[in-house]
Amino acid sequence: MPIHPIDFRYGSPEMKAIFEEESRLQKLLDVEAALARAHKKVGNIPKEAADIISKNATVDKVKLSRVKEIENEIKHDLMAVVKALSEQCGEAGKYVHLGATSYDIIDTANALQFREALEVVVKDLYTLEGVLLDLAERYIDTVAVGRTHGQHATPITYGLKFAIWARETRRHIKRLQQMKERVLVGKMTGAVGTQASFGTQGPRIQELVMEDLGLKAVMVSNQVVQRDRYAELISMLALIAASLDKFAKEIRNLMRTEIAEVSEPFAVDKQVGSSTMPHKRNPINCEKVCGLARVVKSNVFVALENVALEHERDLTNSSPERVIFPESFILLDEMLKTMIKVLRGLVLFPDNIERNLMMTRGLEMAEAVMIALVEKGLGRQDAHEMLREISMEAYKKGESLEEALKKDSRITQLLSDEEISKLVDPHNYIGTAIEQVRNVLEVSRRERIS
């Protein structure tokens, strides 16, 4: 009976399949089979035995139900896998798990699981980046009011906003690629890391197992792969979640009735916004992203706590890792796919964008006038104070900045009416925004090809 929402509500079938019990079991069996083949290559076990172990190390032969049955008896999950595999291998079963400790198998299987899951995350990040680049290009010259501290600032373009998000997404792709060499590692070092159980062949066995599985071997470990590696992984997933939280929060704020510049997609034919208010069009997808981000980010604390295990290891990492690994990946997967859907269907309302741009009647253009006065020879601080006084007075009287400027002799002796009218037009004050977006498009699309 499903309990956790990731069982029935969140995550794609593709990502969830990676963390299903049978998938996990198969990865454990893959490591056991690779270990047997390594022993064969160094001459520790007969070739026939290694072949039998490899042939039977599949969930078709080693049933999950049998593993659980054994675990209920012996109260050890990995040893239950070992016994179930050994049962299928006859006489060759005596060579299963030779020299290994449980976490040689578990942590190496973790790396196999992480590798598959990260491929899904990176694929979604590439898709997200592509959607953002398309939006940046489409709205490259759509001028809107910028906001700082929740107040109207100077103008920005929607193209610049989306370009900023695209580059943030690209940085996540790079971080994940750079992180793989530290996180996608396995080990065959035995009970406390000395490889004593493998004899003099320990380094070679570890090398062969990792080559077989396509992983990098740790240089040194104790009974476990050191958890700073996993803490980095969960932190990177949380960092991606934080960016998605940021994107979704911005869309939510821009969807506010009083702002109404954008809207996430809404199926007007059938979608219900509220159980009691029929008119509602709530930003439920973006709110879901923001909400799930809290869970993913909170898992970083758990991962950091797992770093400080006692001596050569204790078991306090085991139970929380069963939760935070699948949860972080599956919830992030849900967030990524939701944000892609939102951005693909994002609606912009040009009339409302223009309305908000002009809402303060030109007050957001005070900086532009200040800069112009400096260019006319006025000191920067003097120009700032002058514009501050004029802006506050205009705000108090309900005048436009243009009106206030044109009746102030301090201004009119330096600027003509035509110059003032041009300066207070927000469409004329977007600096290099368009050039910056074009540069982002050029660089990003080149990176996507390489």
Active site members: 149, 274
Q: How many CB atoms lie within 10 A of CB 394?
A: 22
Q: Which residue has the tokens 């120009």?
A: 383
Nearest CA to 212 among 64, 114, 365, 108? 108
Torsion of CA 130, 115, 17, 295, to 10 degrees: -70
Describe the crossing of helices 318-344 and 102-138 by its angle, rounded to 10 degrees: 20
> By the 8 A CB rule, do 188 and 205 touch?
yes
CA angle 284, 298, 171 (to 5 degrees): 80
For residue 220, give the 3-state DSSP assignment: coil
> By the 8 A CB rule, do 405 and 415 touch?
yes
Strand intervals (E) in 280-385: 347-348
For 91, 112, 114, 228, the CA distances from 62, given in Å and listed in that order, are 16, 19, 23, 33
Residues 365, 428: Cα–Cα separation, whole Å:
10
Nearest CA to 188 among 87, 37, 80? 37
Residues 74, 12: Cα–Cα separation, whole Å:
34
Residues 146, 219: Cα–Cα separation, whole Å:
50
Residues 87, 65: Cα–Cα separation, whole Å:
14
Residue 185 has phi, psi (to 5 degrees) of -125, 150
Nearest CA to 327 among 6, 8, 111? 6
Q: Which tokens sit at 238?
A: 């949380």
Residues 305, 345: Cα–Cα separation, whole Å:
40
106's CB contacts (< 8 A; 6+ apart) are 28, 78
Q: Using H for helix, E for strand and C for coil, what is the string for 387-419?
A: HHHHHHHHHHHCCCHHHHHHCCHHHHCCCCHHH
153's CB contacts (< 8 A; 6+ apart) are 145, 146, 147, 364
Torsion of CA 332, 336, 337, 338, to 10 degrees: 100
Residue 348 has phi, psi (to 5 degrees) of -105, 145
